[in-house]
C-alpha cells in the first residue's frame, strides 16, 4: 500500500524560462523521492517557496521537508537567484580567494553562536562553492543559508549568516 503526501508549490514568475527551470528541478526531486520511498507507508515531502527581492535581484528559496517517519523530518534548502532574469550562481559572483575571505567571516560569526560546534562549523564553512550555493541579497549584505547539520545540530534548523557589503568591498 502506498501512502504519500506531496504538497507541491513552486513560484510562477511569468517568465516561462524561469518557471520551467524551477518546475523542472522540483519535478525531478519529487520523482527521486517517489523512486526512493516507493512502497513505504506514510512518507511525506513538502515544498514551500519564499520570494526575496532586492533591487534588480529576486531569489526563490525552496524549503523541502521530507518526513520518512524517522526521529524527525529533514528540511533541505535550495535557492534560485536571478538578476534581470539571468540565473546567478555563487561561482559567478566570487573567485575562490574571495570565497575564502567570506568563509573566514562566516566561520567567525557562527562560532559566536551558543550552539556552536567548531568541528561542524569548520567542515560546513570550507571555502568551496557547494557550501555557499544557497544565498540571497538584502540591503545589508548577502545572506548565506546553511542546511540542518551543515554547520550546527538539527535542532538549530536552517541557519542564515549575513555577510555585509562593506566586508565584501574591503
135 and 76 together in one domain: no
123 and 51 together in one domain: no
Q: At residue 54, does pLDDT exceed 70?
A: yes
Q: At residue 1, does pLDDT exceed 50?
A: no
134 and 59 together in one domain: no
Q: Compare 133 and 169 and report the one with higher pLDDT.
A: 133
When the pLDDT of each residue in the chain is averaged and rounded to a whole number, the result is 86
**pLDDT one-digit tens code per residue, 23-51:** 887 788 778 777 776 656 556 777 788 88
Q: At residue 2, does pLDDT exceed 90?
A: no
Into how many domains does the chain fold?
2
- Could you tell me the residue range of the domain that residue 54 belongs to? 4-88
CATH number assigned to the domain comprising residue 137: 3.90.640.20
CATH number assigned to the domain comprising residue 33: 3.30.565.40
45 and 19 together in one domain: yes
**pLDDT one-digit tens code per residue, 115-158:** 889 999 999 999 999 999 999 999 999 999 999 999 999 889 99
E strand residue ranges, 3-140: 4-8, 43-54, 57-67, 74-83, 86-88, 135-137
- Domain boundary among the residues 26, 54, 88 is at 88
What are the strands of the beta sheet with 57-67, ordered from one edge? 4-8, 43-54, 57-67, 74-83, 86-88
Q: Write down the pLDDT at residue 135.
A: 97
Amino acid at each position: 500500500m502506498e501512502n504519500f503526501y506531496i504538497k507541491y508549490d513552486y513560484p510562477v514568475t511569468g517568465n516561462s524560462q524561469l518557471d520551467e527551470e524551477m518546475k523542472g528541478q522540483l519535478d525531478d526531486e519529487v520523482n527521486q523521492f517517489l523512486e526512493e520511498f516507493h512502497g513505504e507507508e506514510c512518507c511525506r515531502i513538502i515544498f514551500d517557496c519564499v520570494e526575496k527581492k532586492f533591487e534588480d535581484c529576486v531569489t526563490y528559496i525552496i524549503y523541502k521537508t521530507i518526513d520518512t517517519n524517522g526521529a524527525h523530518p529533514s528540511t533541505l534548502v535550495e535557492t534560485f537567484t536571478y538578476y534581470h532574469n539571468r540565473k546567478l550562481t555563487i561561482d559567478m559572483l566570487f573567485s575562490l580567494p574571495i570565497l575564502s575571505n567570506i568563509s573566514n567571516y562566516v566561520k567567525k560569526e557562527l562560532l559566536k553562536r551558543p550552539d556552536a560546534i567548531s568541528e561542524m562549523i569548520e567542515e560546513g564553512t570550507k571555502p568551496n562553492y557547494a557550501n555557499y550555493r544557497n544565498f540571497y541579497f538584502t540591503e545589508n549584505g548577502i545572506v548565506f543559508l546553511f542546511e540542518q547539520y551543515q554547520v550546527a545540530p538539527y535542532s538549530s534548523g536552517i541557519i542564515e549568516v549575513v555577510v555585509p557589503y562593506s566586508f565584501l568591498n574591503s
